[in-house]
């Protein structure tokens, strides 16, 4: 159930950089937001963004193999999702992100690859949710 005026944060996880995207308040469209470095201040920065932008839910790209199977990277993201839930106290869902980075490279949007991949992941999630309603 959508909360009126609440936004969703999309995340493209990486061990060095974490791409962020944010939905509009109607949860129809995703926009690039920022790329955070995976530093000691990462969690503090992320929680701050969630509070400032009134984030209601987080969607994280789940890197599956091309056959749709779990990999070592998938396990890293599952661990990250658990920590994300603990740190933000928000609902976290995953979205298949196969080929999102490749697609991000092709857009030529002028945005960074990580935040563009996050936008693609979040837009895929928003489109999928619209089709369920």
Domains and CATH numbers, the chain: 7-132 (3.30.420.140)
Q: How much is the pLDDT for 112? A: 77
- Look up tokens 């869902």; give the residue: 93
Segment 49-70 shows an average pLDDT of: 93
Give tens-digit pLDDT for 63-111. Answer: 988 888 999 999 999 999 999 999 999 999 999 887 565 565 566 555 6
Q: How much is the pLDDT for 88? A: 96
Decide if pLDDT at 119 tops 50.
yes
Distance of alpha carbon 12 from alpha carbon 61, whole angstroms: 5
Question: What does pTM read for this prediction?
Answer: 0.88
Q: Which long-range contacts (CB under 8 A, 24 or more apart) does 107-113 make?
A: 109/32, 111/32, 112/17, 112/19, 112/32, 112/35, 113/19
């Amino acid at each position: 159930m959508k909360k009126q005026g609440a936004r969703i944060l999309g995340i493209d996880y990486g061990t060095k950089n974490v791409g962020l995207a944010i939905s509009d308040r109607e949860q129809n469209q995703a926009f690039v937001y920022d790329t955070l470095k995976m530093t000691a201040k990462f969690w503090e920065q992320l929680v701050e963004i969630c509070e400032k932008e009134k984030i209601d839910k987080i969607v994280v790209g789940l890197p599956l193999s091309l056959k749709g199977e779990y990999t070592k990277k998938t396990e890293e993201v599952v661990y990250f999702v658990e920590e994300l839930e603990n740190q933000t106290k928000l609902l976290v869902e995953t979205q298949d992100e196969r080929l999102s980075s490749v697609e991000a490279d092709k857009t030529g949007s002028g945005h960074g690859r990580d935040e563009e991949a996050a936008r693609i992941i979040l837009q895929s999630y928003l489109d999928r949710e619209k089709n369920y309603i």
